[in-house]
A and B are shown apart, each in its own frame.
Chain A
């Protein structure tokens, strides 16, 4: 059924259709609308039986989820940014224990300086946590990926983060096709846990493992993630059969077949990139796009296959490996090893900095001429940075750098473009 609604509401309704049994909630922007909406459905009885628990921290949110999932309950929570970092110890524990928790990450920057706006620093900081990570491009895809996520998580006994851009998707009102309960019930079987805390068949979960077996247990986590590379296309195909639309999968190419230059990205910025590529194609440029839906496990074979015909690859990412360059770019380079393809890292949109079509046009045209740095910071105000560096050279007690930079810029409200 077609509905006009906020992205958060769409995700909440999709999650409710998956019949979660325990949902834990702790407020953090821009995720909060999702759990608020789920909580309302629990409270008014439309989602039942389900326990909605207002916890005292994100660390508790993930810990409650661990307890309920280990007791055989389908479990959901959502977080973002600092919240994801605050729960990090339990995030690793959930995957180590093999508990199929589904969590929305409404992607947001990580402080300091504190910033509530979108980038991918939060989710990518947990890229090695053992969770599967899928990135939604649109609100429709965010909705659909949650339904697929429960199926996938429970089949593999691994937790999944469904990542959607904070504010850009979570707070955008768009038309979505909301499935029916019957469709979701037909697609998503009952949760049958591999291990469960049950007095009738007592097990010890989470005991210590020493050097004699730790490698094997950890390798198994890797092997199970790799299974997702086969399951996801199959589940996406099945999803299409039940719901009538393409959603999910590993990667998606756009006008990439004959492209000399391919832009790689994740999440909602793919829409802007495709618009730019459309315009450049009309002007005769051989440029295409590779959208990465599945970040963990990283679909290395599919990425290589999609990019190997290109002369150059521009990885545009909303994240940064400080001291190195990009995070997504490093993964893409891994997929392209030994191929004679130039890979450019473009860090863009940090802390909600708008990624405009104008900037992308200029960037891609320069990239086509191999006229960009190996690592580029899109729309970075170099003058402001240089001024701060000069200040720090001149004065020992130069004060908080962020404040000084904002004083130099001279605006209080965010200047986006």
Chain B
């Protein structure tokens, strides 16, 4: 990893005290002159993981580009809660076109910027595109894959909360197995989302062999900042997939967003790693492995697994998926 190991500065929880770090190693958010790219006053729900992830990711990208950054945003919660005219939270040039074309809009921005540089523009302005998992893994997938394949100079960030939360919590191709959504109802013989489907987009991004792919969660915000900073060191297509718990959609307490995100990582449900040119380069190791039940139980979207007759088999299948992640990405190594 390109930042100081977390363990060394442990302060009794899993966080890092910025005061213990030399100034150059402090987080972007700890700085008095942070960019506040997405300003306060927006309409996100209390405890929104997406708002938190976006704030850290975009401010880190702004820091890496000295504020010379343009943002393209897909339709979705992030777009809606941050902008209704005449108000906007965005302290940066920002465009929303439609739901499924954000990666392509970003390609157009990057192309225009390239021409402007050839015409004498001296600033090196970069582009970031962002959307939720619906806008990324479903409706925006074609444009995203095209952008990857052309290796356009765009950093695409997906905030994955496992469903269409803006439209009322429907299933997306990133909704995990067994999870209850408005379209994978917790009824019938196999309640919740089906097994064996869904896309893990980071792996698909890696298959395009683009310069940089990373996953992150809002539980490890230093890691997220470091990955955004690293992404901005590359030219070409880059992809960061951030797991962002949604209190509304997941049925979790607002104050548990970071804890739930950490449980996703510590159970192996969500592997945190980074890859360059299609190869995994590093993983964020599990510090203290926990059974998936610890992650599932606090979430009402899995409540049907813990009723009068606990769905032991389903929980075991989910545990097997986590175990596979742990094996596949070597998440226990180095401990």
Contact = CB atoms under 8 A, between A and B. Distances in A.
B93 A202 contact: yes
A207 B88 contact: yes
Contacts of A67: 72, 95, 97, 104-112
B115 A50 contact: yes
A53 B105 CA distance: 12
A168 to B, nearest CB: 31
Interface residues of B, number: 45
Contacts of A66: 95, 97, 101, 105, 108
Closest 9 CB pairs of A and B: A67-B108, A56-B146, A63-B101, A71-B112, A63-B104, A73-B112, A49-B118, A68-B108, A207-B83
Nearest to B85: A207
6 contacts: A57-B142, A66-B108, A197-B94, A199-B68, A202-B90, A205-B96
B178 to A, nearest CB: 33
Interface in A182-223: 197-199, 201-210, 213
A59 B100 contact: yes
A89 B101 CA distance: 10
Nearest to A64: B108
A65 B149 contact: no
B93 A199 contact: yes
Contacts of B105: 63-64, 66-67, 70
Given A49-B115, A59-B142, A63-B97, A199 B92 contact: yes
Contacts of A197: 70, 93-95, 109
Interface in B141-176: 142-143, 145-146, 149-150
A71 to B, nearest CB: 4
A71 B109 contact: yes
A208 B123 contact: no
- Which of under 10, 10 to 19, 20 to 34, or 35 or more describes the interface residues of A? 35 or more
A206 B101 CA distance: 13
Interface of B: 67-70, 72, 79-80, 83-85, 88, 90-98, 100-101, 104-116, 118-119, 123, 125, 142-143, 145-146, 149-150
Contacts of A314: none
Max count, chain A CB within 10 A of own CB: residue among B88, B104, B108: B108
A161 interface: no
A213 B85 contact: yes
Nearest to B123: A199
A203 B105 CA distance: 16
Contacts of A60: 101, 104, 107, 142-143, 146
B86 to A, nearest CB: 9
A46 interface: no
B208 to A, nearest CB: 12
Contacts of B125: 199
B29 to A, nearest CB: 20
A225 B182 CA distance: 43
A207 B115 CA distance: 27
Nearest to A24: B108
A59 B104 contact: yes
Interface in A1-56: 21-22, 24, 48-51, 53-56
A72 B116 contact: yes
Interface string A77-101: 0000000000001100100010000
B54 to A, nearest CB: 14
A93 B98 contact: yes
A69 interface: yes
A202 to B, nearest CB: 4
Contacts of A97: 97
Given A49-B118, A199-B125, A202-B90, A72 B98 contact: no
Most A CB contacts (10 A, CB to CB) among B69, B111, B115 go to B111
B101 A207 contact: no
B172 to A, nearest CB: 19
B150 A54 contact: yes
A56 B208 CA distance: 14
